[in-house]
Amino acid sequence: MRSTIAEAIGLKYDPVAVLLTDQKPEGALQFKEGKFGCVMSMLAAAARGRQAVFDRTTFGCPGGGTGLGFGNQYRNFPGSEECFYHFLSVGSENWEPGRQIGEMLKPYFRKELQDDWVYGERYLKTPELVKAFVECLPITEVPTQYVVFRPLGQVDADSEKPETIVFLADMDQLSALVVLANYERDYNESVIAPQAAGCQSIGIYPFREAKSDTPRAVIGLFDISARVQIKRQLKDDLLSFAVPLAMFHEMEANVPGSFLERTTWKELMKLKGKA
């Protein structure tokens, strides 16, 4: 399965197809059961040509499990959901139940995780706001055993139907994707950019959009922790742009005759050194 868009905007990395399936692909990367891992490292691997597979016991972390559509995995966060609410906000330095749990878990924590447990990641101001954030998420249970990341070029268009397609784009490429997403619409808000974990912006948010009669694309990788992972793996300044399959086909069909064939886009590519 090829992408005319990827060629037209000069993507460095192959778009990544997210598939829901009951068949486990051979040779795919997979986290070990019960072991920590970041879904973004698997996205980076897929962008570079590898497959990755997740199930309900190998999603890396509670946020990853939630983001990939394996239900509300924050309920399984070490200690409790309340511990997660503190972890993402102010930490447990001044919250005795969290302090006690942190001491018990300390032998199993990396140094960075210990620091975040005590002082918090500070992505939201209060635990109450984190609770509200979780309650706003489009949490879902995917109907399949596996979620698979596969380079789009390795997808068989005749037999496979990805749920979403994820582009990893720089600023200029992202601009083109946003314009193209609105190109055939009679309104100009066909793209959303929610505050979300990196895995949520390529998983449950576009999964929700895929059920809509007029699906929207989802910009992601605003999650600072996810950006660290992508930066480590790919070394580039990128954002994700996830589109449900129906919208992907709509955008693909609109490349011919669009601004991507006109002089302004060509001038921008020339300035990027990609003419």
For the cut 70, the answer to whether the pLDDT of residue 156 exceeds it is: yes
**HEC assignment per residue over the chain:** CCCHHHHHHCCCCCCEEEEEECCCCCCCECCCCCCCCCHHHHHHHHHCCCCEEECCCCCCCHHHHHHCCECCHHHHCCCCHHHHHHHCCCCCCCCHHHHHHHHHHHHHCCHHHHHHHHHCCCCCCCHHHHHHHHHHCCCCECCCCEEEEEEHHHCCCCCCCCCEEEEEECHHHHHHHHHHHHCCCCCCCCEECCCCCHHHHHCHHHHHHHCCCCCCEEEECCCHHHHHHHHHHHCCCCEEEEEEHHHHHHHHHCCCCCHHHCHHHHHHHHHCCCC
For the cut 60, the answer to whether the pLDDT of residue 186 exceeds it is: yes
What are the pLDDT digits (tens) for 45-103?
999 999 999 999 999 999 999 999 999 999 999 999 999 999 999 999 999 999 999 89
Residue 180 contacts by C-beta under 8 Å, 6 or more apart in sequence?
Answer: 5, 251, 254, 255, 258, 260
Lowest-confidence region among 85-89, 102-106, 144-148, 190-194: 102-106
In which band, very low, low, confident or very high, does the pLDDT at 214 lie, cut at 50, 70 and 90? very high
Tell me what pLDDT residue 101 has.
93
Q: CB–CB of 152/1 below 8 Å?
A: yes
Residue 186 contacts by C-beta under 8 Å, 6 or more apart in sequence?
Answer: none
What are the pLDDT digits (tens) for 42-54?
999 999 999 999 9
Instruction: Compute the half-sphere exposure of residue 231: CA atoms within 13 Å on the CB side of its CA.
Output: 9
For the cut 60, the answer to whether the pLDDT of residue 275 exceeds it is: no
In which band, very low, low, confident or very high, does the pLDDT at 35 lie, cut at 50, 70 and 90? confident
Tell me what pLDDT residue 18 has.
98
Tell me what percent of the residues of the chain surpass a pLDDT of 70.
99
Tell me what pLDDT residue 274 has.
67
Kindly report whether the global pTM for this prediction surpasses the value 0.85.
yes
